[in-house]
């Protein structure tokens, strides 16, 4: 494996767009990555396409908690939960509107291979709306058992993984009664992904397309 750092452009901070079908999707799939990116200067746009008013309020708190100090824009929509394939046109129009409002360097969104219909619809549309950005498709553990082979990993320390789980509980009290919402699920998957990339914990993503630009080191300067 080779480490590929997310380096911001020379003239401005890194710009990240995080998209979720539902409140808590982004944080479950990429909360550790967001916490790490927020340690530096960051422009962040946070988008959730469905959710009740209560759940959207939770999403606002989560965005601010996982992206402390970031120059943050939050966009929340009320498309029908569980029915995004039936409103495909509205989903695409919504994402196109988001695209007009920001120019991200990195997009964090659901995967087109996700078994949940809402996640999958977003994952299928993101590459058609955003064609020149790095798109990291996150994974969400669920009853369907749809975890696949990731292609990219974000290592997390034990402290960072624990902080992610603490914030999930703090920001989303409405989910505490669900049988899958517990430390063992979140930390268990993170430990497994960490093992796969030789780290204590990790989040995993799929990246269908990326461009490698070799940075040659002049001869005589190698260490």
Confirm if 135 and 107 have CB atoms less than 8 A apart. Answer: yes
Asked if residues 47 and 104 have their Cβ atoms less than 8 Å apart, the reply is no
Q: What is the pLDDT along the chain (223 residues), one digit of tens a residue?
A: 788 888 888 899 999 999 999 999 999 999 999 999 999 999 999 999 999 999 999 999 999 999 999 999 999 999 999 999 999 999 999 999 999 999 999 999 999 999 999 999 999 999 999 999 999 999 999 999 999 899 999 999 999 999 999 999 999 999 999 999 999 999 999 999 999 999 999 999 999 888 888 876 666 655 5
Tell me the CATH number for domain 14-206.
3.40.50.10320
For 206, other C-beta atoms within 10 Å of its C-beta total 18
Secondary structure (3-state) at 143? coil
pLDDT at 220: 65
Residue 81: predicted pLDDT:
97
Q: What's the pLDDT at 217? A: 66
Burial class (CB in 10 A: 0-12, 13-18, 19+), 146: middle
Q: What is the pTM of this model?
A: 0.94
Among 156, 16, 17, which Cα is nearest to 8's?
16
pLDDT value at position 214? 80
Q: Edge to edge, what strands does the sheet with 152-156 contain?
A: 71-76, 42-48, 14-20, 106-110, 134-138, 201-206, 152-156
- HSE-up of 130 (CA within 13 Å, CB side)? 28
């Amino acid at each position: 494996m080779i480490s590929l750092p997310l380096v911001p452009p020379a003239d401005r901070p890194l710009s990240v767009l995080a998209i979720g079908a539902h409140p808590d999707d982004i944080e479950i799939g990429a909360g550790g990555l967001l916490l790490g990116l927020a340690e530096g200067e960051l422009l962040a746009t946070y988008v959730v396409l469905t959710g009740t008013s209560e759940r959207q309020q939770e999403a606002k708190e989560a965005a601010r908690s996982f992206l402390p100090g970031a120059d943050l824009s939050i966009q929340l929509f009320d498309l029908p939960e569980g029915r995004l394939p039936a409103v495909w046109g509205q989903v695409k129009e919504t994402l196109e509107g988001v695209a007009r409002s920001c120019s991200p360097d990195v997009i964090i969104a659901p995967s087109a291979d996700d078994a949940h219909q809402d996640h999958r619809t977003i994952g299928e549309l993101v590459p058609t709306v955003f064609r020149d950005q790095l798109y990291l498709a996150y994974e969400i553990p669920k009853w369907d058992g749809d975890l696949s082979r990731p292609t990219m990993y974000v290592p997390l320390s034990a402290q960072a993984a624990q902080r992610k789980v603490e914030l999930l509980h703090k920001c989303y009290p409405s989910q505490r009664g669900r049988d899958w919402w517990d430390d063992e699920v979140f930390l268990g998957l993170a430990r497994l992904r960490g093992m796969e990339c030789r780290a204590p914990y990790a989040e995993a993503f799929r990246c269908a397309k990326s461009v490698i630009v070799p940075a040659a080191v002049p001869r005589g300067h190698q260490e």
